[in-house]
Amino acid sequence: MHLARFPRLRLAHLPTPLEPLPRLSEALGIDLWIKRDDCTGLAGGGNKTRKLEFLLGDAFEQDADTLVTQGAVQSNHVRQTAAAAAATGLKCQVILEERTGSKATDYVHNGNVLMDRLFGATIRSVPGGSDMPAELEKTADEVRARGGRPYVIPGGGSNAIGALGYVDCAREIVVQADELDLAIDRIVTATGSAGTHAGLVAGLAVLGADIPVLGIGVRAPKEKQEANVLKLARETAMLLGHADRVKDAMVVADCDYVGAGYGLIDQAVVDALVLAARTDGIVLDPVYTGKAMKGLIALAKAGRFEGERVVFLHTGGAQGLFGYQGELDAMFG
């Protein structure tokens, strides 16, 4: 595995810390560590920065002058893409899907949306359920019609090029664990657009690290999520010349903690946010890491991780908390 073969634009503060969570471990009765990918630096950090390093490397190889991407209204990916464009002198066109249906002022104007505007992104909103690949192509065509050179990034930065960022993260985790003499039994992460989960699976498979990854779903049903992750993991491993190393059994998603739907929070998510904050001072987000922690807590209490050392991959997104102020205030009581 030789990632220097792929174009890359360095944007992230790496390596991110791998550290214990002693008080949360005690509360849950497991040996829990955290990989701090909320500390990647760009626009406040988050997992998309790793993907954007490879995506922007490819964009500059193609002489693009405009990044075109999409996400939900409070998209962490859009925030980091807008920041990456600003930092590299590119234009940025984004499409925000009204996926949750929320019209709350803080959801529509605060949090990540406020930061998108701060970074100078041009924003277009579309109704929930829109054909987002078609909307991306429509915007790219508009850029071309103006004489621009668009580079289209799928939602979450989740294609094989973007997933290379989490191949690199897999390598980074293994190196750090070896330096700490830390035997890892399992990695737990949120799984949504599939790029982070797929990149980890592909990277660990190519390395031969034999560390299982459990994805806690935030949107799709289990069968669909696992199929999406497996397909992308194989495409990513193919880029590395080892597609055969990704086996079906390596892809596991638990989608029992989605709740009412993507971006919709419940009391168990709030409880997870509070527990992480008030034990080890970890700030999670309502959409991804909050639901992943909700699942991890429930599984730990059910004895799923008994005798295991678990690493929770924190994918960032705390900026989105400010888009949920009204709901969180009500649930805090």
What pLDDT, in 10s, does the model give residues 33-91? 999 999 999 999 999 999 999 999 999 999 999 999 999 999 999 999 999 999 999 99
pLDDT tens by residue, 191-243? 999 999 999 999 999 999 999 999 999 999 999 999 999 999 999 999 999 98
Please check the confidence at residue 126 and state whether its pLDDT lies above 70.
Answer: yes
Asked if residue 92 and residue 125 are part of one domain, the reply reads yes
Asked if residue 108 and residue 166 are part of one domain, the reply reads no
Q: Name the DSSP letter for residue 100.
A: S
Domain count, the chain: 2
Please check the confidence at residue 1 and state whether its pLDDT lies above 80.
Answer: no
Average pLDDT over the chain reads 96
Beta strands 18-20; 31-36: pairing state: antiparallel
Name, in order, each residue with C-beta under 8 angstroms of 208's C-beta and a sequence gap of 6 or more: 245
Asked if residue 326 and residue 265 are part of one domain, the reply reads yes
| The domain boundary residue, chosen from 101, 125, 157 | 157
Instruction: Please name which of 293, 227, 219 lies closest in space to residue 260, comparing C-alpha atoms.
Output: 219
Asked if residue 223 and residue 77 are part of one domain, the reply reads no
Please check the confidence at residue 182 and state whether its pLDDT lies above 70.
Answer: yes
Model confidence at 331, pLDDT cuts 50, 70, 90, reads confident
Say what the pTM is: 0.96
Instruction: Please name which of 269, 259, 260 lies closest in space to residue 317, comparing C-alpha atoms.
Output: 269
Buried b (16+ CB within 10 A) or exposed e, 174-188: bebbeeeeeebebbb
Annotated active-site residue in 75, 102, 158, 193: 75
> Hey, which residues does 56 pair with through a beta bridge?
none
Asked if residue 116 and residue 196 are part of one domain, the reply reads no
Asked if residue 184 and residue 63 are part of one domain, the reply reads no
The type of residue at 250 is: M
Query: Residue 322 belongs to a domain with what CATH number?
Result: 3.40.50.1100
| The domain boundary residue, chosen from 157, 185, 201 | 157
User: Percent of the chain at pLDDT above 90?
Assistant: 97
> Which residue do the tokens 């002058």 mark?
65
Asked if residue 191 and residue 308 are part of one domain, the reply reads yes
What average pLDDT does range 84-100 have in this prediction? Answer: 97
d(CA 189, CA 313): 5
Please check the confidence at residue 99 and state whether its pLDDT lies above 70.
Answer: yes
Structural domain boundaries, residue 280: 3-46+158-332
pLDDT tens by residue, 106-121? 999 999 999 999 999 9
Asked if residue 213 and residue 115 are part of one domain, the reply reads no
pLDDT tens by residue, 276-296? 999 999 999 999 999 999 999
Active-site annotation holds for 75: yes
| The domain boundary residue, chosen from 157, 178, 196 | 157
Please check the confidence at residue 333 and state whether its pLDDT lies above 80.
Answer: no
- Residue ranges of alpha helices (H) inside 96-209 are 105-109, 112-118, 132-145, 160-179, 195-207
Cβ 150 vs Cβ 64: under 8 Å:
yes
